[in-house]
Structure 1
Amino acid sequence: MNKLYCEDLILFSDAMSDSNRVIIITELMSGRALSATWLANRLNLSPQATRFHLKKLEDVELIHHRACGKHRYYEIKNQDTAMFIESTFKIIPPKDCLFLTNANANTKIKFKEARMCYNHLAGSWSVALTQSFINNEFIVKQDNFFIVTEKGKNFFNEHKLLVNVFDTTFVGKRCIDFSEHRDHIGGSLGALLLQSMLQQEWFKQNDNSRELTITPKGRKNLNLLLIYKYEDL
């Protein structure tokens, strides 16, 4: 094993060895950019202690910050980093208290049904939709990616799920869902699909949480997508 890789792995393990840093990561996995002040309040820590934890995570390049006026806003470094973090959750799922504002049974169920995975949909709904899209040949697996077929382009446009997109290739990454242990659609395709669903009010993003709430309109449309059988005209 490469010595440099071993050193990186040790640094990563050290960075994720503190529960406060794990909480920071899970909060940022909502896809939001959060200030150090907001995170300090969430963690109930002093600003100095919060900055210490943020620097540890920046040093191993899990997060980065953007300056906006006098404030710094922190976010997950990029999509690949988010997928790596989500894959570690698959092996060692974070405890409920780390990512649930109200750790009751109803909230846990909702969180497993639909949540943000950085910038795309995760949870049981996402896994079910992905499998339905595969079965209908709207997407095909190609190595670690999902490729949208011509049939898929027509379907997604028909349901206003890829609107105002002029790129001729639609590619999504195969992201493992840590609660379902199966593929869902990540990457640029996953982000576009979720953006369209949010715009159509199929889901509502809850404040200060990765959890997504399914609206009655969304539940109706999602169920229609699951039972949809595409027939060529």
Structure 2
Amino acid sequence: MREGPDIARIASLVGDPARANMLNALMGGTALTASELALEAGVSLPTASSHLSKLMEGGLLTLASQGRHRYYGLASAQVAGMIEAIIGVAEAVGPKRVRPGPRDAAMRVARVCYDHLAGEQAVAMLDRLFDRKLLLRGDDQIRLTPAGASHFSALGIEIHAKARRPVCRACLDWSVRRSHLAGTLGAAILDKIIAEKWARREKDSRAVVFSPTGRQAFERVFLA
């Protein structure tokens, strides 16, 4: 038997179409019930429960109880990054299941990737943060500079280092096929965008839709 991580086990968990749809539905960062995930997967509730048990056993999901309800979520940002990367490979090599429509166009511009901003706007933002030396690109990592820390603090963006999660991390964007910003800083920036009402979450979608004035504010702060 070969030593090392059991890639095949994780691949088999993600590779089932119903489980893949469930995982993708959780990429919006919102915890969902088994019934909601059954609808996303297009399967019965008993079948969904079986799939969820396997995903739990595989360490890909967490479960939280609130009253009578039980909510499933992705186990970590690392799991979300894996799903985003797989979506990128699927987008690149196909085949495509449907031709992209209006909602897909909105998703390409800006969307939620677990807990941070993704899409064209997010990739452009990361490029500009590098240009302004607020972030520095290293070998397989992104580093926040002292100037960057002061800049984000002045904007009221609190950066909290969490155990086992970096402040800054590159996440490969499936629609642009370049990196956007993840980590606790990426999450804090998305929180800022929503709190300032520059943009709103599209219902039943991962799309993030900027208002005209919100887009101007976002571009002034992050793209200027």
- Shorter-chain TM range is 0.7 to 0.9
Cα distance in structure 2, aligned partners of 1:138 and 1:85: 28
Q: Which amino acid aligns with 2:126?
A: T
In the alignment, does 2:157 pair up with 1:162? yes
Partner of 1:136 in structure 2? 132
Percent of aligned pairs with the same residue?
Answer: 26
State the AA in 2 paired with 1:123.
G
Contact 1:161 1:197 in 2 (8 A): no
Distance in 2 separating the partners of 1:219 and 1:146: 25
Letter in 1 for 2:157: L
- Alpha carbon RMSD of aligned pairs, Å? 2.5
In structure 1, runs of 5+ residues without a counterpart are 229-233
Normalising to structure 2: TM-score of the pair?
0.86
Q: How many residues align?
A: 218
- Matching of residue 107 in structure 1 with residue 103 in structure 2: yes
> In the alignment, what sits opposite 2:18?
20
CA 1:52 to 1:131, structure 2 compared with 1: closer, same or farther past 3 Å?
same
1:48-197 matches, cutoff 5 A: 48-93=46-91, 105-158=101-154, 160=155, 162-163=157-158, 171-197=167-193
Q: Which amino acid aligns with 2:83?
A: I
Say which is worse superposed, 48-57 or 24-33, in terms of deviation.
48-57
The residue aligned with 1:201 is: 197
Distance 1:139 1:107 in 2: 31
Answer yes or no: is the 8 Å Cα contact 2:125–2:223 preserved in 1: no
Contact (CA 8 Å) 1:206, 1:212: kept in 2 or not?
yes
Q: TM-score if structure 1 supplies the norm length?
A: 0.83
**Aligned residue type for 2:55:** L
Q: CA deviation at 1:184?
A: 1.0
Per-residue deviation, 1:227: 5.1
Unaligned runs of 5+ in 2: none
Question: How far apart, CA to CA, are the structure 1 residues paired with 2:127 and 2:157?
Answer: 18
